[in-house]
Structure 1
Amino acid sequence: MQFKIIQPDDWHLHVRNGKALKSVISMTAKQMGRAIIMPNLNPPITNAKDACAYREEILTALPNDSTFKPLMVLYLTNNTTPKDIQEAIDNDVIAAKLYPAGATTNSDSGVTNIKNIYHTLETMQTLNMPLLIHGEVTDPKIDIFDREAVFIDQILTQIVHDFPELKIVFEHITTQNAVDFVRESSNKIAATITPQHLLNNRNDMLVGGIKPHFYCLPILKRAKHQTALITAATSANPKFFLGTDSAPHAKHDKESACGCAGVFSAPHAIELYAQAFDQAQAMDKLEAFASKFGADFYDLPRNTTTLTLEKHPWTVPDEYKFGNSVIVPFMAGKTLNWTSNTTLSPPS
Structure 2
Amino acid sequence: MPDRNLTRLTIRRPDDWHLHLRDGAMLRAVLPETTRHFARAIIMPNLVPPVVTAAHAAAYRDRILAAIPEGDTFTPLMTLYLTEATDPKDVRAAHAAGIATAVKLYPAGATTNSASGVRDFEKVRPVLEVMAEIGMPLCVHGEVTDHEIDIFDREATFIDRILKPLRKKVPDLKVVMEHVTTQDAVDYVRDSSKNLAATITTHHLIINRNHILAGGIKPHFYCLPVAKREAHRIALVQAAVSGDKRFFLGTDSAPHTDALKLQSCGCAGIFTAPNTMSCLAEVFDAAGKINKLEDFASLNGPRFYGLTPNEDTITLTKGDPVSYPAHIDTEDGPVTVFDPGFDLHWRVEE
What letter corresponds to residue 158 of structure 1 in structure 2? Answer: P
Match of 1:165 in 2: 172
Contact preservation (8 Å) 1:213, 1:254: yes
1:303 is matched with which residue: 310, 324, 332? Answer: 310
Cα 1:321–1:334 change in 2 (3 A) is: farther
Q: Which residue of 1 aligns with 2:4?
A: none
Q: Which residue of 2 aligns with 1:90?
A: 96
User: Structure 1 runs of 4+ off > 2 angstroms?
Assistant: 332-335
Using the alignment, how far apart are the partners of 1:44 and 1:324 within structure 2?
20
Whether the 8 Å CA contact 1:316–1:333 is kept in 2: the answer is no
Question: Does the CA-based 8 Å contact 2:257-2:332 persist in structure 1?
Answer: no
SS across alignment from 2:46: coil
**Paired residue for 1:40?**
46
CA distance in 2, matches of 1:272, 1:138: 31
Query: Residue 345 of structure 1 corresponds to which residue in structure 2?
Result: none
Task: Tell me the residue number matched to 1:187.
Answer: 194
Which of 109, 122, 147 is the aligned partner of 2:129? 122
Q: CA RMSD in A?
A: 1.1
**Are the equivalent residues in 2 in contact too, given 1:318–1:332 (CA < 8 A)?**
no
Question: 1:186, 1:11 → 2: CA distance?
Answer: 21
SS in 1 for 2:260: helix
Give CA-to-partner distance per residue, 1:195-222, whole Å, 9 cap, x none. 1110111111111111111100000000
Match of 1:76 in 2: 82
Q: Which residue identity does 2:233 align to in structure 1?
A: Q
Structure 1 pair 156–321 and aligned structure 2 pair: CA distance change class (3 A): same
Equivalent of residue 245 in structure 2, options 238, 242, 250: 238
% identical aligned pairs: 51
- From 325, 341, 348, the counterpart of 2:333: 325
* 1:266-295 deviations in Å (ceiling 9; x for gaps): 111111111111121110110111000000
Q: Is the Cα contact below 8 Å between 1:317 and 1:332 reproduced in 2?
A: no
Supply the AA of the counterpart residue of 1:220: A
Structure 2: 5+ residue stretches without partners: 1-6
Partner of 1:269: 276
Show the counterpart of 1:25: 31
CA shift digits 1:46-66 (9 cap, x unpaired): 000010000000000011322
For residue 323 of structure 2, what is the aligned residue in structure 1? 315
Q: TM-score w.r.t. structure 1 length? A: 0.96
TM-score, normalised to structure 2, is 0.96
Q: Count the aligned residue pairs.
A: 342
Partner-residue secondary structure (3-state), 2:274: helix
Deviation at 1:186, TM superposition (A): 2.1
Q: Distance in 2 between matches of 1:302 and 1:197?
A: 24
1:132 aligns with 2:139: yes
Query: 2: CA distance between counterparts of 1:334 and 1:207?
Result: 17
Match of 1:175 among 182, 205, 230: 182
Distance 1:74 1:112 in 2: 17
Following TM superposition, by how much is the alpha carbon of 1:149 offset from its aligned partner in structure 2, in angstroms? 0.3
Q: Which moved more, 1:84-93 or 1:255-264?
A: 84-93
Equivalent residue letter for 1:41: L
Q: Is residue 52 of structure 1 aligned with residue 58 of structure 2?
A: yes
1:346 equivalent in structure 2: none
